[in-house]
């Protein structure tokens, strides 16, 4: 199988299961015009995030890594009218695009984008005694995933779901000798999850328009 075939299948699934969506299409166009890297989740992956959030009845969602707000739109749409989405973004320029896209999608009342180092923003949430989040989506620098996981455990509750993106690294995650900081971060995260008595998890490998990668899904136990 080839990348061309994976992309074609994604195109078919997008057309049949998701269809055209003006706000999402505009968000991608705005992000591209602003020069953001084209690394947002695919439509099928975005819909997966939306369905997972809706399935657990999420009322509070934390996203680590906003980019242009594409995944935040998918997540925000799963929230009730009084729900809350907090998205963290390092780049002020990216954050500005995300805020504009969330506004255009009609989600400005439930979503906020905080700018700065994710670790600093997460520490502030912990120090402020933030109400626990029902779902956390981690899609930021992979070398720091173990730290983001640690903060996420302080900001969730039993029953919360943590989703980590880009964990397969094109298959490199299986390379125990890798010195790639992103691979090391992902492997360390999995080790921490496996050793934690209150966490259960699985990982799903994916192929599609974004290539070969996958998610790790972690449930916080009691």
Q: What are the structural domain ranges in the chain? A: 3-158
DSSP 38: S
Low-confidence ranges of the chain (pLDDT < 70): none
Give the model confidence (pLDDT) of 138-188 as tens digits.
999 999 999 999 999 999 999 999 999 999 999 999 999 999 999 999 999
pLDDT of res. 217: 98
Strand-pair partners of 135: 61, 161
The residue with tokens 């975005």 is 46
The CATH-assigned architecture of domain 3-158 is 3-Layer(aba) Sandwich (3.40)
d(CA 216, CA 189): 10
Of 18, 14, 30, residue with least CA distance to 69: 30
Angle at Cα 100 formed by Cα 64 and Cα 28, nearest 5°? Answer: 75
Q: What is the pLDDT of residue 222?
A: 74
Q: For a pLDDT cut of 90, what percent of the chain falls above it?
A: 99
pLDDT at 1: 76
What tokens does 125 get?
Answer: 């949430």
Strands (E), the chain: 60-64, 84-89, 111-115, 133-138, 156-165, 199-208, 211-220
């Amino acid at each position: 199988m080839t990348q061309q075939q994976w992309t074609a299948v994604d195109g078919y699934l997008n057309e049949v299961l998701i269809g055209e969506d003006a706000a999402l299409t505009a968000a991608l166009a705005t992000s591209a015009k602003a020069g953001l890297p084209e690394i947002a989740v695919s439509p099928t992956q975005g819909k997966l995030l939306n369905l997972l959030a809706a399935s657990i009845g999420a009322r509070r969602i934390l996203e680590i890594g906003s980019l242009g707000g594409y995944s935040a739109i998918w997540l925000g749409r799963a929230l009730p009218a009084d729900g809350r989405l907090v998205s963290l973004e390092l780049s002020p320029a990216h954050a500005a695009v995300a805020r504009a896209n969330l506004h255009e999608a009609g989600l400005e009342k439930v979503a906020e984008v905080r700018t700065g180092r994710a670790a600093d923003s997460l520490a502030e949430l912990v120090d402020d005694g933030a109400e626990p989040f029902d779902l956390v989506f981690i899609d930021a620098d992979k070398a720091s995933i173990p730290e983001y996981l640690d903060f996420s455990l302080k900001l969730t509750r039993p029953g919360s779901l943590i989703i980590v993106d880009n964990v397969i690294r094109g298959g490199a995650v299986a390379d125990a000798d890798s010195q790639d900081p992103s691979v090391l971060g992902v492997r360390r995260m999995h080790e921490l999850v496996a050793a934690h008595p209150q966490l259960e998890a699985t990982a799903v490998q994916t192929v599609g328009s974004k290539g070969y990668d996958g998610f790790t899904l972690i449930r916080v136990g009691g």
